[in-house]
Amino acid sequence: MNNAENEEQPIKLVIMGMENAGKTTILDVLTGKINETPNKPPSMNPTKGVERSTLLFFEKETKVWDFGGQESFRNEYLSNPKKHFYTISFFYYVV
């Protein structure tokens, strides 16, 4: 084995679901971008397409793919599954 084969691949976390299900809000709470405040929900715009980010999760580099939930985007993702769903480590579907 060479050094490239010994290196761990980054984790890929995909979060999908219906529109307005709270996918981005869940990620923002988990990463500390927003704090939950009773009676004051965060103001957010819908995710368009796929938003990609990288975070450190349990001391491992994690690539996060946050998929917009509108029907037109869902159709796009499903029409080219290899582009979007290859090498997924974790898949979360929010309803």
| In the chain, beta strands by DSSP E | 11-17, 50-57, 60-67, 90-94
Of 66, 26, 62, the C-alpha closest to 50 is 66
Q: Is residue 15 part of a domain?
A: yes
Q: Cβ contacts of residue 92 below 8 Å, gap of 6+? A: 13, 14, 15, 16, 17, 23
Q: Is residue 49 part of a domain?
A: yes
CATH number at residue 83: 3.40.50.300
Q: How many distinct structural domains can be found in the chain?
A: 1
17-21, 37-41, 49-53, 81-85, range with the lowest pLDDT: 37-41
Query: Is there a contact between 89 and 11 (Cβ–Cβ < 8 Å)?
Result: yes
Q: Is residue 5 part of a domain?
A: no
Q: Which domain holds residue 50?
A: 10-34+45-94
So what's the pLDDT on residue 1? 47
The answer, yes or no, to whether residue 28 has pLDDT greater than 80, is: yes
Residues above pLDDT 90, as percent of the chain? 31
Q: Is residue 58 part of a domain?
A: yes
Token code pair at residue 75: 């159709």
